[in-house]
A and B are shown apart, each in its own frame.
Chain A
């Protein structure tokens, strides 16, 4: 029986249960609802919940366990009927249906909130087994300390993560170099200087930058920024006089991806810092003005120090965003894993290599494909640490004024 029909039957039971529960509650007091403990609505709602929710959990569980379709339909509908029957029996004049419904709703809300924990656990579980399998095939010390990344699907490949980490950090560093000054100055200007109309126009405009899909930024890097940088730093540009063939050899480079990623991160930095600067109490500003400080002195010596932990948190969040960015790097930074200091060289990042290792032709059990899970695990741990650190800083700051 298709899942659709099972759910339809469950829904029908729930609706019937609502009507019957309501009717039974009213009948138990002869129609005088003043004598009931809870309003008749709660009796109905309880039966609807009791017949629908356990059955839904059963359905999802059995689907995940791949039960046969007969067992699936039978067990699910049985669960719905049992819930229905038990809750219907409970309904009486003094039954506290309202409390039961409240408790049920509360349990549902807790379950919804716990989805976040479940997802994290799911990510860790799905990564950890394959990562362990990978380290069984490839020594962990070679992975974490290897300076070469040369996967060959035939086997015998070097899978050292250092060039990828270096590329990731270098690109993120350039991105932050672009985004942090622009974002911070923009945030300070918008929150301290700009008039209300200017602010109400400019802030949403800047936030448009955050809403553009990253693949569009990737195309922008590939089609516009790369060729533009090539014309300046390439073999035909002015730098050709300093170094042979110029500094840049292809449109895809750390600089291309970093610049474009920086543009993407401007609104992250500016919006978060703007909120934090606005949260600095007005009394601090007034005190500073009262001592004769100018506006910029107040900002530099009073507001920014007060907001610093929050701003650092915002920058760390932007950094974790930059480290995890995929599409801009795939299109803008090239595919060569390389340890180099030249920002105009093509390099690659952890994320880009996860994509290429999993979309390749490699057998799923080979170290060349499994390395993607180890890379993802590393990435997850890095961003997790960054985020927890950022959250810790932001929270510490919040406590100062509340």
Chain B
């Protein structure tokens, strides 16, 4: 899922400083699961924003709504009357959701309330870790399901660097060396021979390096 984290209240206060009536829109998908932009977070930040603005002598009227997904027009379209009633929109979605709102509601400013971070998993209660870079050319089959492109700080594809110590990455002693994890994993599934294959330099063209990507699946087009 997409993992995000909320911006500080002071930053949000600056962002909406020009408005007195604003719509806070939560998203019911990824950012609800990662406790950053769901219905509850919208409620908490509404309280904080109202109090901050009243203390500043300029009260703000906040309307709250949380939709199932902000990244799909099918769910966004029902927001139109609420958007119309307000001067601006503060979106608690990932960057994709914020842009989806901005592209649909052309006559209202749409601001981001979250910092979108990465594609990751819930590692432990309230702990998320990055697992996928979205490079567009998945190599997980070669590495026992562990991604060196994401989890190796140097994105090495042919074994660890000389800096890893005690099974940890040299840039952070709390971070496991991706190549140690790959080795253990391949050993566990009896595929250590995969490490004897030299992996050529990765083709980064399917990744972001070619600009924003687009996928068209003809079999599902109407």
**A and B found bound together:** no
Q: Which residues of chain A have a CB within 8 Å of any CB of chain B?
A: none
